[in-house]
Amino acid sequence: MSDPRVAGIGLTHFGKHPERTGRDLFAEAGLAALDDAGVDPDDVEELFYGNFMGELAEHQGHQGPLMAEAVGLDVPATRYESACASSGVAVREAVKTVRNGESDVVMVGGAERMTNIGTAGATDALSIAADDLYEIRSGMTFPGAYALMARAYFEEYGGSREDLAAIAVKNHEHALPNEYAQMRQEITVEDALDAPTIADPLGLYDSCPITDGASAAIIASEEYAEENDLDASVAVTGTGQGGDKLALQDRQYHARAPATEAAADEAYADAGISSDDVDFLEVHDCFTIAEVLALEGLGLYEYGEGIGAAARGETTREGDLPVNLSGGLKAKGHPVGATGVAQIVSLTKLLEGRHQRADAVEDATTALAHNAGGTVASATVHVMEVRE
């Protein structure tokens, strides 16, 4: 059983696209992935597509066949929905399908159109990833939920707003040369601390923006890649998924992410590696505290140690464990259905040496993608490695 290869990747600019539809955005990303792979569209056997709020933002459900048509594919197409982990789940299913020999070539991707419904509309749409009966009806929003998690973390392990600000500063700096990123401006710790409060202790720069965008990748079997002389040196060698109670009040932990822990354990075992083997990674930093929870849940830091990693310079591009070299959700942007595959796109480019920040990981061979849904009620982790 061989490891599926990333044969081609495609991405739109992340940001505001008021005149474009979701199908238009995905067509751009999907066609770019096909072109990058050099794969005949007739060879693609399935489409795995992630989207969260299509019914609310565009009054459009049943998006799988629609997106296949947009890219010019006449194949079975399935939409996956797991809140902000929607295309992370789609990647997992695509990898398993190719690995099991059910298909030799598949497209995986995702898209989201969010800015057209405004800040209030997008906040309301995002909130349905929480428990409607016990959270949404009480006025819970995700800035508020992650603020509660940040408070719980501070109380249990310590840390400060300055530590969170350092994460925002790092991710903004990483995004500066990224032509696809939504927020390409440098900020300082003082900027972050002086910004308006969104939900105490989280401020404006602790939060990812509302974003439109799409991403896509071609996943092929090793045999197909060899037979068709594809340049596909990056393999997905491990995949994992974990879950937790949907509502915060039902959980055992508020300052830990058991879904991430479970997904990481499964992915590491699947790839035959440990957390010590990870050279760099993209994590789901919808809020700065989410990056901390991810790093600790992935086993890269002990509990209570991840909060200071950015301030100590360890997760910057000059550090020993660069995190979110794309800018992450924080600065690259977060079109929720596209984010999981966008992480795969960024990591592939970094491992292949064609990313704007590739000099930070010049000799790296192993990367990790972490995608989370809601307040990490769901999570996927994928291990990516360079193969000959």
Looking up tokens 């991403």 gives 215
Query: Could you list the active site residues?
Result: 84, 334
Q: Distance between CA 33 and CA 7 in Å, rounded? A: 8
- The secondary structure of 249-313, three-state, reads HHCCCCCCCHHHHHHHHHHHHHHCCCHHHCCEEECCCCEHHHHHHHHHHCCCCCCCCHHHCCCCC
pTM: 0.97
Question: Please, which residues have CB within 8 angstroms of residue 138's CB and are 6 or more apart in sequence?
Answer: none
- C-alpha distances in Å from residue 14, one per residue of 114, 269, 311, 333: 11, 33, 27, 6
**Per-residue pLDDT tens listing for the chain (388 residues):** 678 999 999 999 999 999 999 999 999 999 999 999 999 999 999 999 999 999 999 999 999 999 999 999 999 999 999 999 999 999 999 999 999 999 999 999 999 999 999 999 999 999 999 999 999 999 999 999 999 999 999 999 999 999 999 999 999 999 999 999 999 999 999 999 999 999 999 999 999 999 999 999 999 999 999 999 999 999 999 999 999 999 999 999 999 999 999 999 999 999 999 999 999 999 999 999 999 999 999 999 999 999 999 999 999 999 999 999 999 999 999 999 999 999 999 999 999 999 999 999 999 999 999 999 999 999 999 999 999 7
Superfamily, domain 5-118+209-382: Thiolase/Chalcone synthase (3.40.47.10)
Chain centre distance of CA 220: 21
Count Cα atoms within 13 angstroms, Cβ side, for 251. 22
